[in-house]
Amino acid sequence: MFNEYQHLRIPGPTPIAPEVQRAMNRTILGHRSGEFSKVFKEAATRSKRIFQTEQDVMIVAASGTGALEMAVANVVNPGDKVLVAVTGVFGERFVKIAKAYQAEVVVANFEVGEVADPLVIKEKLDQHPNISAVFVTHCETSTGVANPIKEIAAVVKESEAVFVVDSVSALVGMDLKMDQWGVDIAVTASHKALGLPPGLALIAVSEKAWKKVNDHHGPKFYWDLRAYKKNLDNNTTPFTGPVSLVFGLEESLRLIEEEGLENSFKRHYLLRDMVRSAVKGLGLELLVEDDQKASCTVTSIKGNDQLDVEKLRKVLKEDYKIVAAGGQQDLKGKIFRIGHMGYTHPMDMLTTIAGLELALKQVGYPVELGRGVKGAEEVWANAKGISQ
């Protein structure tokens, strides 16, 4: 019994809605067939709405990193100077990819748990007027900060540079008004707030960025955006498309529209606030102290002398079937992370927090049972307008 029972509370892959799971079970179709093209077209059209863009959205068989590489591979020529805001592991990943494409990388480093400061971005752009692209992570999944994309976009817009946003762990969970804010390339991946298995990436490109892409002369093949655009115009992909994932994507996008994008953002805010309230109620410390800077899709919680986070994660998984993520790189052993995006209901947060309380007690951490659940319930009750 319960061999497959779990509460997958990592920041991706995330739980999958039964409707999406069923859609993916549909009989496979030829990737060049008319039937598949119909689904593909629908998925590509609906994808524009989640990026809040009029531009085309390319559907690519890739993980999130593939989407980051695709962005770099199409706008960075060898020797170009680019700026990367580093707020954690995924900002660093942009640095590594840009270097692999022989860019001269200017790094704006920010403290762990802090957001990228638009003023610092402006300073760097003023110091290096020949920067041709700026790369920023929307939600820095390794810490749980939400970077101020709108404010940074306003700064980058004043320059010649294109603004590239990694919204892999944010899109659908947090607002990204690509056209209105002036984001030039935005990418996301299937296994985060879209609630699909890994393997599919989406990439949206502005007119300003297309000019750069069309002039680009650096080496690339699989990642060549022009090939994806040309094929998209014929409702297909340049290479074999991720057929079953596209079935799932169409259904996932339908569910998002049914909920409404604004309501999805509200639900993600609620999930975040429930977790943060619970953590405070339990006397634990949040890595991102300022609520305004905290991601709506993942929350990092600090360990301490009395709390071994790796032991806690083991107990959570084995005894309570709750899969939480650990810290990455320098944060390994120092924090644990709870993912709350995509197909996640507020009730899931109550379950997770109840399990967390029991696990904390079990590992000998002094908590009063019910304090976390109470904090989360109060937030939910408040959001529902239930008098307390």
Ligand X SMILES: Cc1ncc(COP(=O)(O)O)c(C=O)c1O
Q: Which residues in this chain contact ligand X in the complex, by CB under 6 A?
A: 12, 63-65, 68, 90, 137, 139, 141, 166, 168-169, 189, 198
| Residue 328 beta carbon to ligand X: minimum distance, rounded to whole angstroms | 9
Q: Which is nearer to ligand X, 10 or 227 (CB)?
A: 10
Q: How far is CA 84 from CA 5, 90, 110, in A?
A: 40, 10, 11
Quote the CA–CA distance of 299 and 13 in Å, as a whole number: 15
Residue 46's Cβ-count burial label (10 Å; 0-12, 13-18, 19+) is: middle
The residue nearest ligand X at its CB is: 64
Q: Which is nearer to ligand X, 68 or 178 (CB)?
A: 68
Q: Which is nearer to ligand X, 209 or 298 (CB)?
A: 298
131-137/162-166 β-pairing: parallel
| Residue 189 beta carbon to ligand X: minimum distance, rounded to whole angstroms | 5
Q: Which is nearer to ligand X, 68 or 82 (CB)?
A: 68
What is the C-alpha end-to-end distance of the chain, expressed in Å? Answer: 39
Q: Which is nearer to ligand X, 169 or 352 (CB)?
A: 169
Q: Which is nearer to ligand X, 89 or 350 (CB)?
A: 89
| Residue 187 beta carbon to ligand X: minimum distance, rounded to whole angstroms | 8
| Residue 154 beta carbon to ligand X: minimum distance, rounded to whole angstroms | 22
Q: Which is nearer to ligand X, 71 or 278 (CB)?
A: 71
| Residue 191 beta carbon to ligand X: minimum distance, rounded to whole angstroms | 6
| Residue 302 beta carbon to ligand X: minimum distance, rounded to whole angstroms | 20
Q: Which is nearer to ligand X, 282 or 301 (CB)?
A: 301
| Residue 100 beta carbon to ligand X: minimum distance, rounded to whole angstroms | 15
| Residue 99 beta carbon to ligand X: minimum distance, rounded to whole angstroms | 16
Alpha carbon 274 to chain centroid distance? 19
- 109 contacts: CB under 8 Å, gap ≥ 6: 86
| Residue 386 beta carbon to ligand X: minimum distance, rounded to whole angstroms | 34
Q: Which is nearer to ligand X, 68 or 232 (CB)?
A: 68
